[in-house]
Amino acid sequence: MKNKQQKRLLSLSIATFALIILFAVIIYIPPFFPKSSSKPYSLLNISQIKSIVLDQSGKKIQFIPDNGTWKVVQNNTTYDSNQEKVSSIIKALTDVTKNNPVSTNKNNHSQFGINSQYIEFETNNQKNRIYIGDSQGIGNNYVRFNDENNIYVGQGFSEVFSSTEFRNLKLNLVKDEKLVNNVKITAPESTIMLEKKDSTISFISTLQTLEGTDILRSAPSDNPLGNPILQISFVEGVNTKTLDIYTKDESSYYAKTNTGPNIYVLNTSTVDTLKKPLTDTIK
C-alpha cells in the first residue's frame, strides 16, 4: 500500500514538473524564437529588376536600371533619380511580410483604402504588384498582394508614398572640394576672386551640396535665359567649371552649369547665399 502511494506521488511530481517545464517554454521561449514570417520578396535580386512603377493614385512614376544606378521617368522624360529613395522602395519590397491577415474578404478592400495606389515591379520572369492602402499606425499601411483577397499590414511604404519628388535635384557641380582652390564670382557690377581659406572652403561646400527645386531640359520659350546675373567659375583638378545664374521670376532663378544639359530652378534664398561673398565685399 505504501509503495503504491509512493508511486502515485512520484507520478504526480513528474506530471507537475512536466507542466512547469511546458509553462516555462510557453512563456520564455517565444522571445528567443519568434514566429516565422513569410517574406515573399526577401530573395528579390536587384539585378533582375527590369522596372519599378509607382502609382500614386493615378500619377505614375517609373524607375528603370541604368548601369548600376536608377533613372526615373516622369511625363515621358528621363532623369537621374534620387538613389536613396529608390533604395527605400526596394527595401520596403524585400521586408514586407504576409502574416496574420487583417481581412480575407475581397469586398472589404475599399474599407482599407486598397486599389487606389500600388507598386509594381517586373523581373526577368514576371510582374508583381503590391497595393498600398490606408495608414495603420506609425509607418504601417494595409497592403494586398497581386490578385489575392487577403489584406496584411506592411512597413516602409508610408515614406514612399508621402514623397512627390524622386528626381535627383543636385547640381553635382563639385566632385571633390579638395581639388578646388580659387573661386571667381562675377556679376555685372563687379568681380571678386576667393582664395582658398576657411570662408572659401565653406562656400565650396555650398556649391558641392547645391540642390534645385526643379529640373528643365530647356528654358520655356516665353521666358528665355537672357544674360546671367551671376557667374561662378573655378578649376577642379584640370577641369574648369562654371555656374551661370539667370533671373526666372521674383521668387526663383534658373541655374545652368557647363557640366551637363539640365537647367535647374533655384529659390531666392539659395541664390542670396551664392551672392553673399560678393555683397560682403561691396559693403
- Looking at residue 28, its pLDDT comes to 46
Q: Indicate the DSSP class of residue 36.
A: P
In this model, does residue 82 exceed pLDDT 90? Answer: yes
Q: Indicate the DSSP class of residue 34.
A: P
- 172-225 pLDDT tens trace: 999 999 999 889 999 998 899 998 776 788 899 999 999 999 999 888 888 888
CB-facing half-sphere around the CA of 96: CA atoms within 13 A:
27
The Cα–Cα gap between 117 and 110 comes to: 12
Question: Residues 87-105: what's their mean pLDDT?
Answer: 92
Q: Indicate the DSSP class of residue 35.
A: P
In this model, does residue 41 exceed pLDDT 50? Answer: yes
Reading the block at residue 219, the C-alpha cell is: 528654358
Q: Phi/psi at 82 (nearest 5 deg)?
A: -75, 105
- Looking at residue 219, its pLDDT comes to 83
- Looking at residue 36, its pLDDT comes to 42
Write the DSSP assignment of 50-119 as a string of letters. -EEEEEETTEEEEEEEETTEEEEEETTEEEEB-HHHHHHHHHHHHH----S-SB--GGGGGGGTTTS-EE
Give the ranges where 137-197 is alpha helix by DSSP (H): 157-162
- 117-130 pLDDT tens trace: 999 999 987 899 99
| Pairing label, strands 69-74, 59-66 | antiparallel
